[in-house]
Amino acid sequence: MPVGRWASVHHPEIAEVELDDVLRALADPTRRTIVRMLLADGDRACGTFGLPVAASTLSHHFRALRRAGILRQYDDGRQRMNTLRLDELDTRFPGLVSTVLATPG
Amino acid sequence: MPVGRWASVHHPEIAEVELDDVLRALADPTRRTIVRMLLADGDRACGTFGLPVAASTLSHHFRALRRAGILRQYDDGRQRMNTLRLDELDTRFPGLVSTVLATPG
DNA sequence: TACGATCTTCGTTGAAGGTCGAAGAGTCGT
DNA sequence: ACGACTCTTCGACCTTCAACGAAGATCGTA
């Protein structure tokens, strides 16, 4: 199992995630695209999304999604992988994330 | 039917409301309280919410909700009434608003 | 060890957002 | 007409946020 930078990344308990954090995180088109790609294709490294923003900006978005409890990150070699916390989110905010992702836009 | 200041208030067509607008509007506790009170008790004048913010701040929140297509305003004498656009919202973004309002927080 | 790849952090900039008080506009009642 | 009431607009202030480039940290590989 991969270690390394993993220790430095903080993942909040799903119980301490606020609704405001989730709504604010999803109120951004770039971040919704990230989440939709993860939902469609499964885990992905940060650099494989092909989005038209700088790497530092992408890092900022991943931190927002991480702090909102929407995804979890773990290191694998020199890449940082992303995985959705869908089950936990659906326990904390039933139907919320799937409803947002299902709506066009 | 009441007229007056009504003409100056702009209400977007529900088709031109963006998901970002709705999510950003709902990502604020004060505004969610407003919407929840309207859902629970029906139409209300702006000044009857008893929220701990200045009247000018409240006006700002109502404008955000209006521009997000979440509520409609009409004038009745010297008060401005607020009514939810739930049916239209549920057509444009199925289940979104009710799901957000149903989650605690 | 040295290099390239990947991602984060830092510093900055510009835009947006929440808040307030003061002032303005519209309405009702006297 | 006058004043009271309700709400909006304006200007100011502060915070948050998305974006970038540059620099730093970590890891795999030559």
Is the C-beta of residue B8 closer than 7 Å to nucleic acid chain D?
yes
Per-residue confidence (pLDDT) for residue B25, from 0 to 100: 98
d(CA B1, CA A59): 54
The whole model's pTM is what? 0.94
- φ/ψ (deg, to 5) at A83: -140, 140
Q: Which residues contact B78 (CB under 8 A, 6 or more apart)?
A: none
Q: Distance (Å) from CA B8 to C1' C22? A: 23
A30 touches strand D (CB under 7 A): yes
CA distance A26 to A99: 11
Cα–Cα nearest to A27, from A84, A80, A88, A70: A70
Structure tokens, A29 = 């088109």
- Whether chain B has a CB inside 8 Å of the CB on A86: the answer is no
Which positions in strand C are less than 7 Å from the protein's CB atoms? Answer: 4-11, 17-23, 26-28
* Sequential pLDDT tens for chain A (105 residues): 445 555 569 999 999 999 999 999 999 999 999 999 999 999 999 999 999 999 999 999 999 999 999 999 999 999 999 999 999 999 999 999 999 999 988
Residue-level pLDDT at B105: 85
B14: alpha, beta or left, given left = phi > 0 and alpha = psi -120 to 50?
alpha
Q: What's the rounded Cα separation, in Å, for the pair A55 and A41?
A: 21
Residues in A closer than 8 angstroms to B95, CB to CB, are 95, 99, 102
Name which of A30, A28, A14 is nearest A70 in CA terms: A14
Rounded to the nearest angstrom, the minimum Cα separation between A9 and chain B is: 25
